[in-house]
Amino acid sequence: MPEDLTDDDIRQWVNLAGRVKEKATDTALAGPKKVTESALVLEHASEVLVRKMAMFQQVTSEDVSVSENVKTQIRRDFLAAGRDLDRCLRSFVLTAQAALDDDGSRQG
């Protein structure tokens, strides 16, 4: 994990989160309920990651005085948000694949 994040890094992630939101909205409108729910959870996780990333950038900048305990907690929150986004993405992919594989012929 980089110890310093630039404003450009944050902008790129904000743009990525915006694209995730667009695609999640498209998917939510077109997909079955389970895919919709998974897409919206993924969208939320991407937004949370961006917020945690921005907080991490703020507390690690040289012109901010924050205790090491606070920095450590914010770093942990940032890392946890990254893991959560990864988990949500994997869940979304599996849910979407299952929906695409289900041609309506299965009883269940």
The pLDDT tens digits along the chain (108 residues) read 556 788 898 899 999 999 999 999 999 888 899 999 999 999 999 999 999 999 998 888 777 788 889 989 999 999 999 999 999 999 999 999 999 888 665 554
The 10 Å CB-count burial string (b at 16+, else e) for 35-58 is bbebbbbbbbbbbbbbebbbebbe
Q: What is the DSSP letter of 3?
A: S
Closest by Cα among 47, 38, 41, 53 to 19: 47
7-100 is classed in which CATH architecture? Answer: Up-down Bundle (1.20)
Question: In the prediction, which pLDDT does 60 show?
Answer: 83
Residue ranges covered by each domain of the chain: 7-100
From residue 95, give the alpha-carbon distance in Å to each of 26, 50, 55, 85.
Answer: 16, 24, 31, 15
**CA gap 44, 25 in Å, rounded:** 12
Q: Look at residue 95 in the predicted model and tell me its pLDDT.
A: 95
